Amino acid sequence: MGDTPVIGVLALQGDVREHLIALAAADAVARPVRRPEELAEVDGLVLPGGESTTISKLAALFGVLDPLRARVRAGLPVYGTCAGMILLADKILDPRSGQETVGGIDMIVRRNAFGRQNESFEAAVDIKGVGGDPVEGVFIRAPWVESVGARVEVLAEHEGHIVAVRQANALATSFHPELTGDHRVHSLFADMVRASRTPESL
């Protein structure tokens, strides 16, 4: 398939379709992923926005949570937006009962930190590694990052709060770039996936 990465979107709950469209626009082959055998066939994975507790429970139910954790630990490129950011956190400040995460980024995340659904907003966000004008960030019941470990690079802040981070092959944003028609963040992730692939796999 040449230099075209196959990137999955965890398709259990949330805004899956919008991510599939954005990834295709970023010159990736985009596939929904629900089961371990589908996870095994992708070069990278997006964890979409939605409800983080529901996504983690469905991931366990579909038998994909543990394989996903293993692949992330092994270096699978992964990008989480909003609820996906919560899922990638090694620690949640205010978890719901029984809530689990995939982990992969040494950060502490606060759920719904920017407010409830009716307090959703849009804001221009300067993201390190994304050229051109600021990205329009759509914040919907969005988390923020309370603190990060030494290996985590902060890519963006909004009003003094961390809203985008990267650690090795893991990327996370508090906001939803897939809802704006601006595919630059997905292109950044697709480039991360390309860079992670060995020559033998191309």
100 is catalytic: no
Identify the active-site residue in 82, 158, 183, 186.
82
41 is catalytic: no
What is the rounded distance in angstroms from the CA atom of residue 188 to the CA atom of residue 130?
A: 7
Identify the active-site residue in 18, 158, 178, 186.
178
Identify the active-site residue in 18, 19, 158, 176.
176
176 is catalytic: yes
Residues with active-site annotation: 82, 176, 178
